[in-house]
Amino acid sequence: MTSIALAPATVVDLPQRRYRQRWSLPVLAVLTLLVALLSVAIGPVTIPPGEVLRIAAGGLGFPVGELQPQHVAVIETIRLPRTLLGLMVGAALGVAGAALQGLFRNPLADPGLIGVSAGSALAAVCVIVLGSHGLTFLTTALGAFTLPLAAFCGGLVTTLVVYRIAGRDGQTSVTTLLLAGIAINALCGAGTGLLTYLADDQQLRTLTFWSMGSLGGATWSQVGSVALLITLPMLALPLLARTLNALLLGEAEAGHLGISVQRMKRLIITLVALAVGAAVAVSGLIGFIGLVVPHLLRLALGPDHRILLPGAALLGGSLLLLADLLARTLVTPAELPIGILTALLGGPFFLALLMRQRGVLG
């Protein structure tokens, strides 16, 4: 079975689609700023949005008058790093999903479904559980970058394995892709379960909450440790938008256009694994952002990755911040894992997507 093609827009759709494309990025940017403002303002200690803006202006050196020390402390030490981390993680997952869907040429590719997140998680759990034993030399040498780099290596290996299994003669079998993803997820889940069994009480508490996804406890050191690892693929993948557009036509056709297909595929896979690995390392397993976000944008804006990739970054960050906002306000003073909320959103969406494609999949 060949891949599910991501069809280009029809002639009738083009004028309306171009209009939406022209305004999509500015609208998504404004949406992201508004959601970030709400994320910083709302919590156990509610801070008026105007006060948030005054504190932000004061931090930039503008004269804003007297500020409440409690509000400043809450924003600078808790809310702001959490918001920035949520934006980066959501953007990384959204862009990674869009790039994988373009690379595999089907709308079902997702970092979680094909095992990238599970591979990253297994490598990260190895560092958490074994870091004080056989991997002491590694944690000493790499410091704060140990967890993100380990997660990157795990995600890269699983992505390459799934791609090699599902790819044949320049085509990607959707059935094989999903089955390989299920197998990789099962194997990585078994390894993670074994390491969880071997973990001590402190490690077990960390792993239990981390495995369901959370931005709780976000710190400036976490933001700093993954900022470069996420920013690099976030900036590099949009530069490969024309390559991804050409790959939608097929690998042979892209080669005829002068693209070094194999080299570009390896580069895209490496950048995706880097983004997902860094995101998983600091937030745990958060599913369906990489599936829902690019698919919604593709339906609204078409398959042009020059719009799709930056749009996925903005919408992915916004959706994850909204999920985090709900996670820490719905059951106050407790906090829900974000992975539960994203699964409640993404699960029905994925089922609807499968039903829509059942004529192809069946």
Higher pLDDT, 203 or 175: 203
- In whole angstroms, what is the distance from residue 278 CA to residue 66 CA? 38
In this predicted model, what pLDDT tens digit does every residue of 44-72 receive, in sequence order? Answer: 888 888 888 888 888 777 777 788 888 88
Give me the amino acid identity at 269. Answer: I
pLDDT the model gives residue 140: 66
**In the prediction, which pLDDT does 97 show?**
93
Q: Nearest to residue 96, comparing CAs of 278, 218, 255, 358?
A: 278
Query: pLDDT by residue (tens digit) across 270-294?
Result: 898 889 988 988 888 898 899 889 9
Q: In this predicted model, what pLDDT tens digit does every residue of 198-225 receive, in sequence order? A: 888 888 877 877 788 888 878 898 898 8
User: pLDDT (tens digit, 9 = 90+) per residue, 330-347?
Assistant: 877 778 889 888 888 777
Angstrom distances, CA of residue 92 to CA of 58, 105, 133, 155, 320 = 30, 19, 31, 13, 11
**pLDDT over 50 at 11, yes or no:** no
What DSSP letter does each residue of 183-197 carry, written as one string? HHHHHHHHHHHHHHH
Q: Name the average pLDDT for the chain.
A: 84
| Cα dist from 334 to 27, 35, 143, 315, 324, whole Å | 33, 22, 31, 27, 13
pLDDT score of 322 more than 90: yes
Confidence of residue 8 (pLDDT cuts 50, 70, 90): very low
Predicted local distance difference test score (pLDDT) of residue 132: 62
Q: pLDDT tens digits for 66-86? A: 888 888 888 989 999 999 999
Per-residue pLDDT band for 144 (boundaries 50, 70, 90) equals: low
Average confidence (pLDDT) over 350-357: 73
Sort 296 into a burial class: Cβ within 10 Å, 0-12 / 13-18 / 19+: middle
Distance CA 187, CA 160 (A): 15
Confidence of residue 99 (pLDDT cuts 50, 70, 90): very high
The pLDDT value recorded for residue 1 is 40
Q: b/e for 22-55, b at 16 or more Cβ within 10 A?
A: eebeeebeebbeebbeebbbbbeeebeeebbebb
| For residues 170-196, average pLDDT | 83
User: Quick one: pLDDT at residue 3?
Assistant: 47
Fill in the amino acid letter for 352: A
Cα dist from 76 to 33, 70, 217, 254, whole Å: 17, 10, 13, 48
172 DSSP 8-state letter: E
User: Please, which pLDDT band fits residue 133 given cuts at 50, 70 and 90?
Assistant: low
Cα torsion angle, 39, 44, 48, 53, sign:
negative
Kindly tell me if the per-residue pLDDT of 142 is higher than 70.
no
Given this model, what pLDDT does residue 2 score? Answer: 45
The SS3 call for residue 171 is strand
CA 184, 190, 194, 196 torsion: positive or negative?
positive
Q: How confident is the model at residue 10 (pLDDT cuts 50, 70, 90)?
A: very low
Residue holding tokens 């999509």? Answer: 24
pLDDT band at residue 362 using 50, 70 and 90 as cut-offs: very low
Rounded Cα–Cα distance for residues 121 and 279 (Å):
10
Collapsed DSSP state (helix, strand, coil) of residue 113: coil
